[in-house]
């Protein structure tokens, strides 16, 4: 019973910390404020996590592992480079709905603790996620599905655009996540595809790509 209560308190601390980072940024996420909101002590937070930086590390790692796991599950259903790259764009947009606070927190603090040696594993996870897209761009170029672009720069362009979505995309606003995703796919894949014949299927919000993304996140 005690272990269950302790685990529950730890989860609560983690959830409130994530929300505070999303709303205020890491530097202004104060452990005393978090403790006050939860009606506990700052010492309790330190007992569970140690320093504040450890909370950020866990937030980053948990989020990145979820994103990679989701992409892997989606890509089981989708086989072409175009479909896989499109699905990553849709998934990144949907995460603003299903995991809003963690998405905003990790995107706004992408450079936070960049020099921290304890963040090496998280940086490795970020590179792995990007390399998944780079590999699909390479495969698309090699098969002639994509134009012969610089795949490294192409990857940076895609992730760079998605990285700033937290600054303007409101899940409760006039555009739904799949509308935003489709608009990004239209521009990004429209520029990559050697033949745009498949583009209407990729931007179809009821098509197989969006369906695969929805299924994985509803299952998760």
User: How high is the pLDDT of residue 114?
Assistant: 64
User: How high is the pLDDT of residue 111?
Assistant: 67
Class for the domain spanning 1-50: mainly alpha
User: How high is the pLDDT of residue 123?
Assistant: 86
User: How high is the pLDDT of residue 22?
Assistant: 95
User: How high is the pLDDT of residue 1?
Assistant: 37
Of the candidates 209, 162, 152, the one whose C-alpha atom is nearest the C-alpha of residue 188 is: 162
Distance of CA 152 to the CA centre of its chain: 19
Q: How far apart are CA 170 and CA 172, in angstroms?
A: 5
Class for the domain spanning 56-219: mainly alpha
User: How high is the pLDDT of residue 118?
Assistant: 73
Distance of CA 93 to the CA centre of its chain: 8
Exposure class string for 31-61: b at 16+ Cβ within 10 A, else e: beebbeeeebeeebbeebbeebeebbbbbbe
User: How high is the pLDDT of residue 109?
Assistant: 80
> pLDDT means per 10 residues in the chain (220 residues)?
63 94 92 91 88 90 94 97 98 96 89 70 91 98 97 96 94 95 97 95 96 89
Domain ranges for the chain: 1-50, 56-219
> Which residues are 146's β-sheet partners?
193
Please provide residue 184's backbone torsions phi and psi, each rounded to the nearest 5 degrees: -70, -40
Tokens of 119: 């963040």
Q: How far apart are CA 144 and CA 88, in angstroms?
A: 20
User: How high is the pLDDT of residue 4?
Assistant: 55
Domain 1-50 identical in fold to domain 56-219 = no
> Which residues, other chains included, contact 102 with Cβ-Cβ below 8 Å and sequence gap of 6+?
18, 22, 59, 62, 63, 95
């Amino acid at each position: 019973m005690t272990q269950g209560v302790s685990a529950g308190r730890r989860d609560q601390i983690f959830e409130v910390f994530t929300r505070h980072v999303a709303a205020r940024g890491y530097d202004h996420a104060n452990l005393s404020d978090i403790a006050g909101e939860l009606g506990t002590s700052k010492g309790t937070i330190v007992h569970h996590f140690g320093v504040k930086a450890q909370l950020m590390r866990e937030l980053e790692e948990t989020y990145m592992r979820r994103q990679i796991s989701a992409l892997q599950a989606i890509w089981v259903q989708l086989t072409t480079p175009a479909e896989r790259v499109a699905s990553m764009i849709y998934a990144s947009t949907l995460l603003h709905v299903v995991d809003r606070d963690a998405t905003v927190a990790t995107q706004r603090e992408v450079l936070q603790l960049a020099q921290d040696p304890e963040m090496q594993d998280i940086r490795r996870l970020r590179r792995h996620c990007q390399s998944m897209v780079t590999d699909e761009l390479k495969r698309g170029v090699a098969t002639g599905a994509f134009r012969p672009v610089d795949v490294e720069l192409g990857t940076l362009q895609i992730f760079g655009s998605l990285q700033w979505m937290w600054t303007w995309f409101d899940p409760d606003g006039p555009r739904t996540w799949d509308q935003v995703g489709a608009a990004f796919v239209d521009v990004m894949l429209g520029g990559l595809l050697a033949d745009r014949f498949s583009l209407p299927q990729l931007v179809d919000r009821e098509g197989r790509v969006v369906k695969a993304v929805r299924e994985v996140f509803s299952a998760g």
